[in-house]
Amino acid sequence: MNTYEEYLKHKAGNIITIEECMEIYSQMVESFSKCELEDKIDFWNSFIEKSSRYTFIRNQWETMTNEERAKADDSRTMAHNSLIASINVLARLAEKENKDNSWRNYLGDERKRIGDFACFVSYITGISNR
What pLDDT score does 121 carry?
98
Query: What's the whole-number average pLDDT of the chain?
Result: 95
Which residues are within 8 A (CB) of 64 and not within 5 positions of it... i.e. 6 or more apart?
Answer: 72
Query: CA 23: distance to chain centroid?
Result: 13
pLDDT-derived band of residue 99, with 50, 70 and 90 as boundaries? very high
Domain range annotation of the chain: 16-128
> What phi and psi values does residue 46 have, to the nearest 5 degrees?
-60, -45
Q: 67 exposed, middle or buried (CB, 10 Å; 0-12, 13-18, 19+)? A: exposed
> Does the pLDDT value for residue 11 go beyond 90?
no
Question: In terms of pLDDT, which residue wins out, 12 or 102?
Answer: 102
Q: How far apart are CA 80 and CA 93, in angstroms?
A: 20
